[in-house]
Amino acid sequence: MADHAYREPSRSPSSGDVRPKPENSRSLSRQVAVVTGASSGIGTAIATALAAAGASVIVNHRPNPRSAAEADAVVEAIRRAGDTASPFPADVTDEAQVEAMAEAAVERYGALDIMVANAGIEQAAPIEEMSLAAWRQVIDVNLTGAFLSARAAARRFLSQGLRPDVSRAAGKIIFTSSVHEFIPWAFQANYAASKGGVMLLMKSLAQELAPRRIRVNSVAPGAIRTPINADAWQSDEARDALLELIPYGRIGAPDDVGRAVAWLASDDADYIVGTSLVADGGMSLYPSFRGAG
């Protein structure tokens, strides 16, 4: 793929809005990350937060012109902040493209330390109307895509070995799961099944890879204001109904998840292995039981 030949543009000190940051002072300095589905929503926030913490970030996007343009804008914003990122087109359900993406991280930045398997979709339908295609697409992107991304990363982590000057772990895999890895979700059976699958994929890989010093965890967001759930917050009525489900009284911002992932990826979280970090403003606390039941 032509993208392999990508070269990080040299930063001219005179290009006003780019401020180089001191190396080694940040929690992910000299680390290299891939974030799948990073051209919008939570993925963009994760890529931005990892870059702000010092990582060089591959901003993965779907191989189509619209996603490519969105990813370019994300990369541009990260660079304007003085951080390091570049785009990579890959369909996370395509084995060869995912392998090429992991390889691109090594070619561009010299290593791979962090894989955030974030790409996800929804295709809601009542079960009697849910097409096989809608079932398969959601399982393919959310679960098979997570598997392929994790496997590609694990392969690089294992061949690369520990980089003790960079991190206490030989690699970190972080899945973007959901509160729906444990909260059932009517009309979204495919989505909830995919996220339940991600939960045990994460835990099984965490158990398997921990002895090899690879940390595997998930972040499990609740309702975060992104395009995927626009119907749930765009109208006043929908927003009020959604807020009833969130004890903390606000809809999450993508940054809430970005910062959680940057922490999970850092050595500050070195003893966190096989955990889903729930970032949901209390959505999973059964808020309807407050004063009832």
Binding residues (CB under 6 A) for ligand BGC: these are 122, 178-180, 222-223, 228-229, 232
Short-list 201, 71, 215, CA closest to 146: 201
- Which residue number, 88 or 191, has a Cβ lying nearer to ligand BGC? 191
Q: How far is the CB of 176 from ligand BGC (least distance, A)?
A: 9
- Which residue number, 27 or 275, has a Cβ lying nearer to ligand BGC? 275
Contacts of 64 (CB under 8 A, 6+ apart): none
Beta bridge partners of 217: 174
The Cα 162–Cα 31 span in angstroms is 12
Q: How far is the CB of 27 from ligand BGC (least distance, A)?
A: 26
Extract the tokens encoding 200. 């045990």
Q: Position 59: which residue type?
A: V
Which position among 191, 248, 271, 286 bears the catalytic label? Answer: 191
Exposed/middle/buried for residue 106 (C-beta within 10 Å: 0-12, 13-18, 19+): middle
Q: For the beta carbon of residue 24, count every other beta carbon within 10 angstroms.
A: 8
The Cα 58–Cα 104 span in angstroms is 8
Q: How far is the CB of 36 from ligand BGC (least distance, A)?
A: 15
The Cα 204–Cα 137 span in angstroms is 23
Q: How far is the CB of 77 from ligand BGC (least distance, A)?
A: 23
Q: How far is the CB of 28 from ligand BGC (least distance, A)?
A: 25
Chain CA centroid to CA 167, Å: 19
Q: How far is the CB of 124 from ligand BGC (least distance, A)?
A: 9
Annotated active-site residue 191? The verdict is: yes
3-class secondary-structure state, position 188: coil
Would the CA dihedral through 272, 275, 280, 283 be positive or negative? Answer: negative
- Which residue number, 180 or 215, has a Cβ lying nearer to ligand BGC? 180
Q: How far is CA 248 from CA 74, 175, 227, in A?
A: 29, 24, 21
- Which residue number, 125 or 228, has a Cβ lying nearer to ligand BGC? 228
Whether 35 and 50 have beta carbons less than 8 Å apart is answered as yes
The Cα 132–Cα 29 span in angstroms is 44
Catalytic residue annotation? 191
